[in-house]
């Protein structure tokens, strides 16, 4: 039977401050994500998904299994994409070219992602996604929805559930979103193409 485990953090819990504080990481990664992992392990027992991969479950399941698998997948992608000291503050190579082709410029992509993350009503995720032809798009997805359910590849994601930012930014969701750009590891995002 598959047992899902916590994704390893690539940085110390205090390393992303002040963009994401140690306190927020402690609750968001250490408590919220751990709960989704525990729930998923309990829910898939003795179901058709008992031997499936996380991606298969996040794409195909329904109800509580889909919600918890989606949250494990989404948070794994979210926490993996950050670095306290990114090698570059802008994407490079094929990813940079795909962004220009799909959006006109990196700044235009950023503006669309900011608008998507800011205007998402309630809890959910803003995504930069790629289709099979390498065309990029930005989409809002509620709750635990993810690009795999829409036949798309996830590249970059902003968690806009209040638990992602409330300790650090309270109601100022746009400030949280703007700050995230400074800790994106573009090598990780490019590796998802």
Helix (H) or strand (E) segment spanning residue 7 = none
Does 185 interact with Mn ion (rule: CB under 5 A)? no
Is the CA virtual torsion 152, 107, 29, 161 positive or negative? negative
Per rule CB under 5 A, count of chain residues that contact Mn ion: 3
Q: Where are the alpha helices (DSSP H) in 81-131?
A: 93-103, 106-119
Identify which of residues 145 and 159 has a Cβ nearer to Mn ion in the complex: 159
C-beta nearest to Mn ion: residue: 159
Shortest reach from residue 161's CB to Mn ion, in Å: 5
Strand order through the sheet with 153-159:
136-142, 124-130, 153-159
Does 159 interact with Mn ion (rule: CB under 5 A)? yes
60: its two tokens:
């195909």
Identify which of residues 30 and 151 has a Cβ nearer to Mn ion in the complex: 30
Identify which of residues 4 and 161 has a Cβ nearer to Mn ion in the complex: 161
Shortest reach from residue 64's CB to Mn ion, in Å: 17
Does 161 interact with Mn ion (rule: CB under 5 A)? yes
Question: For 2, phi and psi rounded to 5 degrees?
Answer: -70, 135
Does 80 interact with Mn ion (rule: CB under 5 A)? no
Spatial CB neighbours of 152, under 8 Å, sequence gap ≥ 6: 127, 129, 130, 131, 137, 139
Does 82 interact with Mn ion (rule: CB under 5 A)? no
Shortest reach from residue 100's CB to Mn ion, in Å: 30
Candidate ranges 15-23, 50-58, 109-117, 154-162; the one touching Mn ion (CB under 5 A):
154-162
Q: How many helices (H) and strands (E) does the chain have?
A: 9, 3
Shortest reach from residue 192's CB to Mn ion, in Å: 19
Residues of this chain that interact with Mn ion (CB under 5 A) are: 159, 161, 164
């Amino acid at each position: 039977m598959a047992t899902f485990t916590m994704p390893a953090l690539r940085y110390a819990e205090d390393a992303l401050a002040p963009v994401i504080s140690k306190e927020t990481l402690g609750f968001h990664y250490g408590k919220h994500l751990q709960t989704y992992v525990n729930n998923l392990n309990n829910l898939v027992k003795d179901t058709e998904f008992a031997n499936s991969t996380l991606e298969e479950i996040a794409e195909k399941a329904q109800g509580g299994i889909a919600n918890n698998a989606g949250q494990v997948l989404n948070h794994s992608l979210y926490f993996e994409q950050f670095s306290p000291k990114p090698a570059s503050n802008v994407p490079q190579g094929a990813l940079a070219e795909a962004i220009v082709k799909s959006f006109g410029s990196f700044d235009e992509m950023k503006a669309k992602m900011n608008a998507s993350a800011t205007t998402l009503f309630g809890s959910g995720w803003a995504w930069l996604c790629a289709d099979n032809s390498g065309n990029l798009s930005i989409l809002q997805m509620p709750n635990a929805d993810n690009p795999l359910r829409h036949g798309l590849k996830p590249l970059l994601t902003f968690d806009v559930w209040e638990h992602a930012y409330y300790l650090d930014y309270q109601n100022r969701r746009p400030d949280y979103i703007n700050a995230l750009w400074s800790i994106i590891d573009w090598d990780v995002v490019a590796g998802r193409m």
